[in-house]
Structure 1
Amino acid sequence: MKYAIGIDFGTSSGRVLIVNAYTGSIAGISVCPYQHKVIEERLYEQPIPAGFSLQNSKDYMDVLKNGISEVLSNAKIDPKDIVGIGIDFTSSTMMVTDEHFVPLSWKEEHRHNPHAYVKLWKHHGASDEANRMMEAAAPDLHRYLGNYGLKVNSEWMIPKILELKNKAPDILKESAYIIEAGDWIVSKLTGGNVRSNCARGYKSFWNESDGFDFEFYEKTDPDLPDIIRAKCDGALVKIGQQAGLLTREMSQWLGLPANIPVAPAIIDAHSAVLGVGSTEHGQFTMVMGTSTCHLMLHQEQKQIPGISGSVRDAIIPGLYAYEAGQSAVGDLFESVVNQVPKEYADEAQQRNLSIYDLLEMKASRKKVGEIGVIALDWHNGNRSPLSDSDLTGVIIGQTLHTKPEDIYRAYMEATAFGTRMIMSSYEEYGLQVNEVFACGGLPQKNSLLIQIYADILNKPIHISNSDYAPAIGAAILGAVAGGQYEQVRDAVANMKQPLLKTVLPIRENVEKYNGLFQIYKDLHNYFGIDNRRILGSLQEIAER
Structure 2
Amino acid sequence: MNSAPAFAMGLDFGSTSVRAVVVDCRDGREAGSGVWSYRSGEAGVLTDPRRPHLARQNPLDYLEGLRHVVPAALAAAAASRRDFRPEAVIGIGVDATSSTPIPVDAQCRPLAADPHFAGDLDAQAWMWKDHTAIDEAEAITALARERRPRYLAQCGGACSPEWFFSKIWHCQRVAPAVFAAAHAWLEFADFIPAALAGVQDSRAVRAGICAAGHKAMYNDAWGGYPDAEFLAALSPEMAALRERLPRQAVPADQVAGRLTASWAAALGLPAGLPIAVGGIDAHLGAVGAGVAPGRMVAIIGTSACDILVAPPGAAPPEIPGVCGIVPGSVLPDCLGIEAGQCAVGDIMHWFVTEICRGEAALHGRLSAAAAALRPGQSGLLALDWHNGNRSILADARLTGLLVGMTLHTSQADIYRALIEATAFGARRILDQLESHGVGVEDVVACGGIAEKNPLFMQIYADVLGRPMRLSASTQTCALGAAIMGAVAAGTAAGGYASVAQGQEAACAFQERVYRPDPAAAAVYQRLYALYLDLHDSFGRPRTTFDHAGVMKGLLEIRRQAEA
User: Which bracket does the TM-score occupy, shorter chain normalised?
Assistant: over 0.9
For the residue of structure 2 that corresponds to 1:321, the secondary structure is: strand
Mark the CA change 1:176 to 1:457 in structure 2 (over 3 Å): closer, same or farther: same
Task: State which of 350, 356, 369 in structure 2 corresponds to 1:362.
Answer: 369
Verify the 8 A CA contact 1:133 1:220 in the aligned structure 2.
no
> Structure 2 counterpart of 1:278, which letter?
V
1:365 Cα deviation from its structure 2 partner: 1.0
**Aligned counterparts of 2:354 and 2:454: Cα–Cα separation in 1:** 22
The residue number in structure 1 matching 2:87 is 80
Verify the 8 A CA contact 2:55 2:130 in the aligned structure 1.
yes
**Aligned counterparts of 1:467 and 1:423: Cα–Cα separation in 2:** 24
1:339 Cα deviation from its structure 2 partner: 3.8
Q: How does 1:217-296 map to 2 (within 5 A)?
A: 217-218=230-231, 220-223=233-236, 226-234=239-247, 236-279=249-292, 281-296=293-308
The reply on whether 1:197 has 2:209 as its aligned counterpart is: yes
Q: Which stretch has the larger CA shift, 440-449 or 31-40?
A: 31-40
**Aligned counterparts of 1:497 and 1:183: Cα–Cα separation in 2:** 28
The residue number in structure 1 matching 2:349 is 334
The residue number in structure 2 matching 1:41 is 47
The reply on whether 1:17 has 2:21 as its aligned counterpart is: yes
1:317 Cα deviation from its structure 2 partner: 1.4
For the residue of structure 1 that corresponds to 2:437, the secondary structure is: coil
The residue number in structure 2 matching 1:541 is none
**Aligned counterparts of 2:537 and 2:232: Cα–Cα separation in 1:** 32
For the residue of structure 2 that corresponds to 1:243, the secondary structure is: strand
Verify the 8 A CA contact 1:15 1:471 in the aligned structure 2.
yes
Verify the 8 A CA contact 1:38 1:55 in the aligned structure 2.
yes
**Aligned counterparts of 2:61 and 2:511: Cα–Cα separation in 1:** 32
Aligned residues: CA RMSD: 1.9
1:220 Cα deviation from its structure 2 partner: 4.3
Task: State which of 51, 71, 88 in structure 1 corresponds to 2:53.
Answer: 51
For the residue of structure 1 that corresponds to 2:54, the secondary structure is: coil
Aligned length: 520
The residue number in structure 2 matching 1:492 is 503
For the residue of structure 2 that corresponds to 1:277, the secondary structure is: coil
> Structure 2 counterpart of 1:60, which letter?
Y
The residue number in structure 1 matching 2:548 is none
Verify the 8 A CA contact 1:217 1:225 in the aligned structure 2.
no
Verify the 8 A CA contact 2:145 2:152 in the aligned structure 1.
no
**Aligned counterparts of 2:543 and 2:236: Cα–Cα separation in 1:** 32
Verify the 8 A CA contact 1:40 1:48 in the aligned structure 2.
no
> Structure 1 counterpart of 2:59, which letter?
S
Mark the CA change 1:96 to 1:411 in structure 2 (over 3 Å): closer, same or farther: same
Task: State which of 317, 329, 333 in structure 1 corresponds to 2:332.
Answer: 317
TM-score, normalization by structure 2: 0.89
The residue number in structure 1 matching 2:532 is 521
1:444 Cα deviation from its structure 2 partner: 2.1
> Structure 1 counterpart of 2:39, which letter?
Q
TM-score, normalization by structure 1: 0.92
Mark the CA change 1:214 to 1:225 in structure 2 (over 3 Å): closer, same or farther: farther
**Aligned counterparts of 2:341 and 2:542: Cα–Cα separation in 1:** 21
For the residue of structure 1 that corresponds to 2:221, the secondary structure is: coil
For the residue of structure 2 that corresponds to 1:448, the secondary structure is: helix
> Structure 1 counterpart of 2:262, which letter?
E
The residue number in structure 1 matching 2:34 is 30
Verify the 8 A CA contact 1:132 1:220 in the aligned structure 2.
no
**Aligned counterparts of 2:249 and 2:422: Cα–Cα separation in 1:** 36
The reply on whether 1:501 has 2:512 as its aligned counterpart is: yes
The residue number in structure 1 matching 2:139 is 132
For the residue of structure 2 that corresponds to 1:102, the secondary structure is: coil
Q: How does 1:206-225 map to 2 (within 5 A)?
A: 206-210=218-222, 211-214=224-227, 217-218=230-231, 220-223=233-236
Please list the CA deviations of residues 11-67 of structure 1 after superposition, one character each: whole Å capped at 9, or x if unmatched: 01111100001110100011211111343534xxxx551200000112111221100
Mark the CA change 1:236 to 1:152 in structure 2 (over 3 Å): closer, same or farther: closer
**Aligned counterparts of 2:373 and 2:352: Cα–Cα separation in 1:** 18
For the residue of structure 1 that corresponds to 2:36, the secondary structure is: strand
1:340 Cα deviation from its structure 2 partner: 5.8
Verify the 8 A CA contact 2:384 2:400 in the aligned structure 1.
yes
Mark the CA change 1:120 to 1:341 in structure 2 (over 3 Å): closer, same or farther: closer
Mark the CA change 1:306 to 1:123 in structure 2 (over 3 Å): closer, same or farther: same
1:237 Cα deviation from its structure 2 partner: 3.5
> Structure 2 counterpart of 1:472, which letter?
L
Please list the CA deviations of residues 262-295 of structure 1 after superposition, one character each: whole Å capped at 9, or x if unmatched: 000010000011111122x111110111111001
Task: State which of 80, 97, 114 in structure 1 corresponds to 2:121.
Answer: 114
The residue number in structure 2 matching 1:540 is none
Q: Which stretch has the larger CA shift, 167-176 or 178-187?
A: 167-176
Verify the 8 A CA contact 1:464 1:500 in the aligned structure 2.
no
Mark the CA change 1:160 to 1:492 in structure 2 (over 3 Å): closer, same or farther: same
The residue number in structure 2 matching 1:161 is 168
Task: State which of 143, 149, 155 in structure 1 corresponds to 2:156.
Answer: 149
What stretches of structure 1 of length at least 5 have no aligned partner?
346-352, 534-544
For the residue of structure 1 that corresponds to 2:131, the secondary structure is: coil
The residue number in structure 2 matching 1:68 is 70
1:139 Cα deviation from its structure 2 partner: 3.0
Mark the CA change 1:385 to 1:399 in structure 2 (over 3 Å): closer, same or farther: same
The residue number in structure 1 matching 2:309 is 297
**Aligned counterparts of 2:251 and 2:236: Cα–Cα separation in 1:** 28
1:357 Cα deviation from its structure 2 partner: 1.0
> Structure 2 counterpart of 1:138, which letter?
R
For the residue of structure 1 that corresponds to 2:409, the secondary structure is: coil
Please list the CA deviations of residues 500-541 of structure 1 after superposition, one character each: whole Å capped at 9, or x if unmatched: 4211000001111011001111111111113699xxxxxxxx
**Aligned counterparts of 1:380 and 1:108: Cα–Cα separation in 2:** 33
The reply on whether 1:403 has 2:405 as its aligned counterpart is: no
Verify the 8 A CA contact 1:469 1:497 in the aligned structure 2.
no
For the residue of structure 2 that corresponds to 1:165, the secondary structure is: helix
For the residue of structure 2 that corresponds to 1:360, the secondary structure is: helix
The residue number in structure 2 matching 1:306 is 321
> Structure 2 counterpart of 1:309, which letter?
G
What stretches of structure 2 of length at least 5 have no aligned partner?
79-83, 200-204, 545-563
For the residue of structure 1 that corresponds to 2:332, the secondary structure is: coil
> Structure 2 counterpart of 1:239, which letter?
A
